[in-house]
Chains A and B, each alone.
Chain A
Amino acid sequence: MLKYVAKRLGLALLTVFVVTTAIFFMTNILPGDPATRILGNLAEPENVAKLRKDLGLDRPLLAQYWTWLSNTLQGDLGNSIQHRVPVVDYILPAIGLSLRLAAIAFLLTVPLSIIGGITAGVMRGKPVDRVITVGGLSAAVVPEFVWAVLLVLIVGVRLKWLPTSAYPGPDEGLLTYVYHLILPSIALVLVLFGYISRIARAGVIEAFDSDYVRTATLKGLPRRKVVNKHVLRNALLPSIAVIASQVPYLIGGLVAVERVFNYPGFGTILIKAVQYRDYPVLQSSVLIVAVVIVLAQLIADILFAVLNPRIRQGIER
């Protein structure tokens, strides 16, 4: 078990390192000079040269990489070019806002899609199954921003059931925040539901086809007991793995949904950083995204191991 965790941790660190390196070289090796891009093509050459020096762009690339890497490891992400403040101070509050949205979306998605997937699996081949499976996957391929504008129009503007703004202002109670975030969360739920419920359904079906469920049925256990005691436990395992794999999609979705709702979260910062060519913010944002994703995967791997006796006791590998 310990060995398994150590191996996963090593892989996670390696992944973050590869991504970090890729990010750095992507923004620095590609054609075009950041200083010129920041100041525009009409800028005076002296100004460009000065900015290059300020940003340290006149130094050899490997030296730049080393400085950037060691600063990053010490928690210094540099200064925002656009706002002239440390990137950390600028990004952290926005991440907090995005985390709230993501948390509500996750709290809605996970139980809904697991219940949906289990229902579909138990009702396999029946119309309910078709509706959940085909409907879920069809909803999943429609971009979040499309769902978001349709939800605002139908649920917010027409039916007036939920507020159309996602951010009630800085000094509101927790419940008000949650209430305002339900509509944007639903847009994310609609995209995530299909994938997670499909895996939960597959887990149920696989369990139903297994020898131990047949044994349980043949020894005369009522169907309800077979489902509760034998099917569900095994069906949930693969769902955990797939939930973690949805984190990248969730982050991608956040960017689009925050834009629709004009929500001042992480996605909004990312888009602004792209528009203003704010490289320190951009690099740091992508780094944070990478760390979050790798962390989610790591937690899922460990949870999977804890719940799966075969890995826990080191029988596999």
Chain B
Amino acid sequence: MTQASALRAAAVLERKRIRKERFAQLRRNPAFILGALLLGMWLIAALFGNFLTRFEPGGVDVLNVNKRPSDEFWFGTDNIGRDVYSRVVAGTRPIIFMAFSATAIGTLFGTTLGLLTGYMKGRFDVIVMRILDAISALPVIVIALLALAALEGQSEVITVLIIGFVFTPIIARTVRAAVLYEAELDYVAAAKLRTEKMPHILFVEILPNVLPPIIVEFTIRLGYAVFAIATLSFLGVGVELGSPNWGSQVAENYSGIFGNLWWATVFPAGAIATLAIGINLIADSIMEAFEI
């Protein structure tokens, strides 16, 4: 017993050391630092937006329409005189909140499904994966458009649920692949011999060991959620009309670029780009550090 427990303690220590080393490697990666700075900046804007705006984000000012960026209007004003800077700041919270919620939902269901299908091979696995394959064959944007047309309204909740739903099979596939490998290992066989129940084996034994790919998948999907939500709001579906969404801001103002009124479009567009790139840089660095 003492020998076994000593071995186990050594294994735990070894795992901790590797993890520590990987985090150290992550912190030294310039791509990770840049990504963290970008995401951090937008997280601050999302959390403390109320204190950072300079004007009422929805406030129309007919005397100051299409003003260039200046000391008064940092990012200029749009075609009905709203302060672009304040609207960009106010637009942070909806997209970040929606993207995180959608990704969390997809990760939760995807992980559960992936654990189940990876562990219970055979017919159940085949049928579930086939249905998931068929659903994930369609582009997110098209599924979302279809569902938003069928369901009443333009609610953010529907958008979040749909994106979470679309992410589920993708995440399930990643988790399933990892579980297929883990399920063959000795510790799972040992747990079975100890007559542990399936939920215990899945969530207590296997789950901690497949966390790295889940974390990577979460980060990648988060970026894609930003992509999808921004695109849907640009297309005028899936968000409340008139709300300060970045995609809606681009949609409302981009006809101005033909007349060189670039600021009301470029700033929200740049916000979308920097948020998406920041998340992607983080995902990429984690993947590199954990060699996935």
Q: Which residues of A contact B (CB under 8 A)?
A: 14-15, 18-19, 22-23, 26-27, 30-32, 37, 134, 137-138, 140-146, 149-150, 152-153, 157-158, 164, 248-249, 251-252, 255-256, 259-260, 270-271, 273-275, 277, 279, 282, 285-286, 289-290, 293-294, 297
Contact = CB atoms under 8 A, between A and B. Distances in A.
Contact of A255 (B135, B142, B272, B281): B142
A19 B138 contact: yes
A286 B163 CA distance: 17
Most A Cβ at <10 Å: residue of B223, B226, B231: B231
Given A19-B138, A141-B279, A164 B258 contact: yes
B146 A23 contact: yes
A15 B134 contact: yes
A141 B219 CA distance: 12
B139 A248 contact: yes
A134 B31 contact: yes
Given A15-B134, A140-B280, A145-B250, 5 more contacts: A19-B134, A27-B150, A149-B265, A256-B141, A279-B149
Contacts of A259: 234-235
B273 A142 contact: yes
A188 to B, nearest CB: 13
30 contacts: A15-B133, A15-B134, A18-B130, A18-B131, A18-B134, A19-B138, A30-B151, A31-B152, A32-B151, A142-B277, A143-B231, A143-B247, A145-B247, A145-B250, A146-B272, A149-B254, A152-B257, A152-B258, A153-B262, A157-B260, A251-B142, A252-B141, A259-B234, A271-B145, A271-B235, A274-B148, A274-B237, A282-B145, A286-B142, A297-B137
B137 A15 contact: yes
Chain B's interface: helix, strand, loop or mixed, by majority?
A: helix
Interface residues of B, number: 48
Nearest to B133: A15
B147 interface: yes
B159 to A, nearest CB: 13
A37 B152 contact: yes
B38 to A, nearest CB: 11
Contacts of A285: 142
Contact of A26 (B150, B247, B273, B277): B150
A292 to B, nearest CB: 10
B137 A27 contact: no
Nearest to B141: A252
A225 B134 CA distance: 43
B137 A19 contact: yes
A252 B134 contact: no
B125 interface: no
A282 B150 CA distance: 10
A158 B259 CA distance: 10
A277 B150 CA distance: 8
A256 B280 contact: no
B284 A134 contact: yes
Interface in B117-134: 130-131, 133-134
A141 B258 contact: no
A149 B231 CA distance: 13
A22 B231 contact: no
B149 A277 contact: yes
Contacts of B280: 137-138, 140-141
B227 interface: yes
B277 A146 contact: no
Contacts of A251: 139, 142
B109 to A, nearest CB: 17
A291 to B, nearest CB: 10
Contact of A157 (B134, B223, B235, B257): B257
Contacts of B265: 149, 153
A19 B135 contact: yes
B137 A143 contact: no
Contacts of A23: 146
B273 A27 contact: no
Shortest beta-carbon contacts, A-B, top 7 = A252-B139, A18-B134, A252-B141, A248-B139, A141-B280, A141-B276, A274-B149
A254 to B, nearest CB: 9
